[in-house]
Chains A and B, each alone.
Chain A
Amino acid sequence: AQSVTQLGSHVSVSEGALVLLRCNYSSSVPPYLFWYVQYPNQGLQLLLKYTTGATLVKGINGFEAEFKKSETSFHLTKPSAHMSDAAEYFCAVNRRGGGADGLTFGKGTHLIIQP
């Protein structure tokens, strides 16, 4: 079964500093990996995804993530944090190989931006 582990339920960074949110996955099939962001009382918005091909994936709002198969990781980074980045971030993996049959999510990381 697929699973996702997000290290750190809360991450605090200063405005302008590097953002690093960690995600490790377990998958018995080639993984499709996703990062979603959730603002208070809103649904989830896709930041970026990895399916196949280039392992460095760029997303919206200056975020990017690198798929590292050997480390089973898909960490999310942003070079310079902005106050508007404060939100909950979820890493997810496809439940089964390739097909569109739903996602398994991590527990989320709450990103706090200090002024």
Chain B
Amino acid sequence: DTGVSQDPRHKITKRGQNVTFRCDPISEHNRLYWYRQTLGQGPEFLTYFQNEAQLEKSRLLSDRFSAERPKGSFSTLEIQRTEQGDSAMYLCASSLGSYNEQFFGPGTRLTVL
């Protein structure tokens, strides 16, 4: 068990470009979550998957954001036409079972210039 991993750890992009982040959860975990954390704030829920099914999307997740988990293993989060307001830490977490103990990855820090 190597924990939750995220790639890349840092991403700098120019406004208007598309970016994609990857999350690899703990192997046996069936639930996968994406959160966004801005400076001085706690993480905010974006979306979550049970296996390959995306069960809920927050209203924070605009149409420019899309997340997938095609085979119920790793997940990708894509942001199209990035804006400066998208600059944040994007955290991925995974869990198993119904007690909601989530294990977090180290995050991907996005900076939009």
Q: Cβ of B98 and Cβ of A98 under 8 Å apart?
A: yes
Q: Cβ of A108 and Cβ of B42 under 8 Å apart?
A: yes
Closest residue of A by beta carbon distance from B10: A41
Chain B residues closer than 8 Å to A44, beta-carbon distance: 43, 91, 93, 104
Interface size on A, residues (CB 8 A): 28
29 contacts between A and B (CB under 8 A): A4-B42, A32-B99, A34-B100, A34-B101, A36-B104, A42-B107, A43-B105, A43-B107, A44-B43, A46-B101, A49-B99, A51-B99, A90-B42, A90-B43, A92-B42, A95-B45, A100-B31, A100-B97, A100-B98, A101-B48, A101-B56, A102-B33, A102-B35, A102-B48, A103-B102, A104-B45, A105-B44, A107-B42, A108-B40
Binding site for A on B (CB under 8 A): 4, 31, 33, 35, 40-45, 48, 55-56, 91, 93, 95, 97-107, 109
